[in-house]
Amino acid sequence: MKTVNDAIQAIPLNQYILLCSIIFSIGVIGVLIRRNAIVIFMSVELMLNSVNLLLTAFSVYHGDATGQVFVFFIMALAAAEVAVGLAIIVMIYRNTNSIDINVLNRLKW
């Protein structure tokens, strides 16, 4: 078990930061280029998850379990956010018969 862990985990910290920032920027691009509200919501989830992965990597790197407790709180927050957000999307769909976000640009005024 110990040797397996040693064989797997000899990864530089930079690689984790690179992976997480790539996935985070994919999430940012997804928010910017899509018009479907649910897909935008999923891109936000992608960003949250990349931050979770980076927090866990730093937690393992420093040998401090606080980071993983924080990941747990972020997941609780994400669950609450998804519940409220999807309820809002359902309500918008009921009122406008579409989840295209360009319909909502009346919110500007």
Partner 1 sequence: MSTFYFVAFLSIFFSILVITAKNPVHSILYLILTFATFTIHYILMNAQFVAIVNFIVYMGAILVLFLYTLMLINLNKDSEPQKSRFVKIIGFIAGGCFLVAVVAALKAYKTSQLVILNDPNLGLVKNLGKILFNEYLLPFEVSSILLLSAMVGAVLLATKDPKTT
Q: Which of residues 6-65 bind partner 1 (CB under 8 A)?
A: 6-19, 21-30, 32-36, 38-39, 41-43, 45-46, 49, 52-53, 56-57, 59-61, 63, 65
Binding status of residue 76 toward partner 1 by CB under 8 A:
yes
Q: Distances in Å between the alpha carbon of 74 and those of 33, 53, 62, 65?
A: 26, 11, 19, 15
Shortest distance in whole angstroms from residue 44 CB to partner 1:
11
**What is the distance of C-alpha 60 from the center of its chain?**
20
Q: Which residue's CB is nearer to partner 1, number 33 or number 104?
A: 33
What distance in Å separates the CA atoms of residue 48 and residue 56, rounded to the nearest whole number? Answer: 13
